[in-house]
């Protein structure tokens, strides 16, 4: 009788990995594959709606040419979206890691502090925005959130510029931080998921590492840079990817593409814009992950 062949550990991990992603693969094939193929066809065609449905006329790269060289609004919105991402993502990562480090400390009222930190995230979530417009309270809350984001005047970056310049900081750094102060509400509301990921990562670090460093005479500052920060580099990569995708999720570009498709009924041009937008995001993600991956520390 032949002996039953046992699977190696690596083989078992591979099988479980395939099983883990199989629901996504099945869902992609059933729900996403056909629409993606159709959008590629639309991007190289001119779609005309008729009595029997629609007809496609192949126009090559004409839609892409119109998107980049004729439609000035698309280029402007694209530039604004990329600039906004480059400015906000580093601030979101820094704020999330800083906040998670504070919230991981043991102090009285920690749960209340965590609730207060996440309150702006809840207020700005899609739950509040998606409530019925006839609900007066929901409308007032939504308007208050918008006012705080666009017209917050408690502390403006303009007030900080003279102090920072007098401190000897360069003008580029000063104006960058001044702009961050003006966007503080947007940064806070965009950092909720990142704070949770960092908080879970910090709490998973073995306390014995901090105890050993304390016995060796390391300060809290040294423990952060020698233990916490290196252990958080894989999560910095994860949160950077998430923050980039989240910043491109809903903005003027996506609203404009939707307007081209469903108001102007120009599905060929909207598909071309969508694929150009997708390629741009993919390139940014590839560059970002390549740069950060070289600095990631994996603890074995």
For the chain, list the strands marked E by DSSP: 45-50, 53-58
What is the arithmetic mean of pLDDT over 154-160?
A: 56
What is the per-residue pLDDT for 157? 55
Pair of tokens at residue 137: 């309270």
The whole-chain average pLDDT of the chain stands at 81
What is the per-residue pLDDT for 177? 66
What is the per-residue pLDDT for 133? 45
Q: Report the helix count and the strand count for the chain, using DSSP H and E.
A: 16, 2
pTM flag (> 0.85): no
What is the per-residue pLDDT for 165? 66
What is the per-residue pLDDT for 233? 92
What is the per-residue pLDDT for 64? 93
**DSSP secondary structure string, 172-237?**
HHHHHHHHHHHTHHHHHHT-HHHHHHHHHHHHTS-HHHHHHHHHTT--HHHHIIIIIHHHHHHHHH
Q: What tens digit of pLDDT does each residue of 247-280 get?
A: 998 888 999 999 998 888 889 999 999 999 999 9
Pair of tokens at residue 155: 């502390």
Neighbours of 280 (CB within 10 A): 15
Q: What is the band of 288 on the pLDDT scale with cuts at 50, 70, 90?
A: very high
Q: What tens digit of pLDDT does each residue of 139-152 get?
A: 544 555 455 444 44
Cα 163 to Cα 170, 249, 282: the distances in Å are 12, 36, 40
What is the per-residue pLDDT for 138? 47
- For residue 78, pLDDT over 80 is answered with yes
Up-side HSE of residue 107: CA atoms within 13 Å toward CB?
9
Q: What tens digit of pLDDT does each residue of 172-224 get?
A: 666 666 666 767 777 888 888 898 899 999 998 888 988 898 888 888 888 88
What is the per-residue pLDDT for 49? 81
What is the per-residue pLDDT for 152? 46
What is the per-residue pLDDT for 270? 92
Residues of the chain with pLDDT > 70: what percent?
A: 77
Domains parsed from the chain with CATH numbers = 59-293 (1.10.3720.10)
Helix (H) or strand (E) holding 150: helix 136-151
- For residue 246, pLDDT over 70 is answered with yes
- Alpha-carbon distance 251 to 253, whole Å? 5
Q: Which of 79-93, 141-155, 165-179 has the highest mean pLDDT?
A: 79-93
What is the per-residue pLDDT for 175? 64
Q: What tens digit of pLDDT does each residue of 109-123 get?
A: 777 877 777 776 666
> Which of residues 192 and 169 earns the better pLDDT score?
192
Return the exposure string of 65-89: e unless at least 16 CB atoms fall within 10 Å of the residue's CB, then b.
Answer: ebbbeebeebeebbeebbebbebbb
Cα 120 to Cα 17, 169, 264, 291: the distances in Å are 36, 31, 36, 32
* Long-range pairs of 103-108 with CB within 8 A, sequence gap ≥ 24: 103/195, 103/199, 104/199, 104/202, 104/203
What is the arithmetic mean of pLDDT over 42-63?
A: 87
Neighbours of 93 (CB within 10 A): 20
What is the arithmetic mean of pLDDT over 126-130?
A: 52
Residues of the chain with pLDDT > 90: what percent?
A: 35
What is the per-residue pLDDT for 174? 66
- For residue 7, pLDDT over 80 is answered with no
């Amino acid at each position: 009788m032949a002996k039953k062949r046992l699977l190696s550990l690596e083989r078992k991990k591979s099988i479980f990995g395939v099983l883990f992603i199989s629901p996504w693969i099945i869902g992609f094939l059933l729900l996403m594959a056909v629409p993606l193929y159709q959008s590629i066809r639309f991007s190289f065609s001119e779609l005309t709606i008729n009595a029997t449905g629609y007809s496609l006329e192949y126009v090559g790269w004409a839609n892409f040419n119109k998107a980049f060289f004729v439609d000035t609004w698309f280029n402007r919105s694209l530039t604004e979206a990329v600039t906004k991402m480059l400015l906000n993502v580093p601030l979101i990562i820094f704020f999330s890691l800083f906040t998670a480090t504070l919230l991981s400390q043991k102090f009285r009222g920690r749960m209340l502090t965590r609730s207060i930190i996440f309150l702006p995230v809840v207020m700005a979530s899609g739950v509040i925005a998606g409530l019925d417009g006839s609900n007066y309270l929901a409308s007032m809350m939504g308007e208050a959130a918008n006012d705080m984001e666009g017209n917050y005047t408690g502390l403006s970056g303009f007030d900080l510029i003279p102090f920072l310049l007098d401190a000897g900081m360069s003008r580029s750094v000063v104006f960058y931080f001044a702009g961050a102060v003006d966007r503080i509400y947007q940064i806070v509301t965009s950092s909720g998921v990142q704070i949770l990921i960092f908080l879970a990562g910090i709490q998973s670090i073995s306390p014995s590492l901090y105890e050993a460093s304390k016995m060796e005479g390391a300060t809290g500052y040294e423990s952060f840079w020698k233990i916490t920060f290196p252990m958080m580099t894989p999560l910095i990569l994860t949160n950077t990817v998430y923050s980039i995708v989240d910043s491109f999720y809903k903005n003027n570009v996506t609203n404009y593409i939707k307007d081209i498709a469903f108001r102007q009924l120009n599905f060929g041009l909207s598909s071309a814009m969508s694929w150009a937008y997708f390629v741009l995001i993919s390139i940014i993600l590839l560059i970002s992950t390549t740069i950060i991956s070289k600095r990631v520390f994996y603890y074995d």
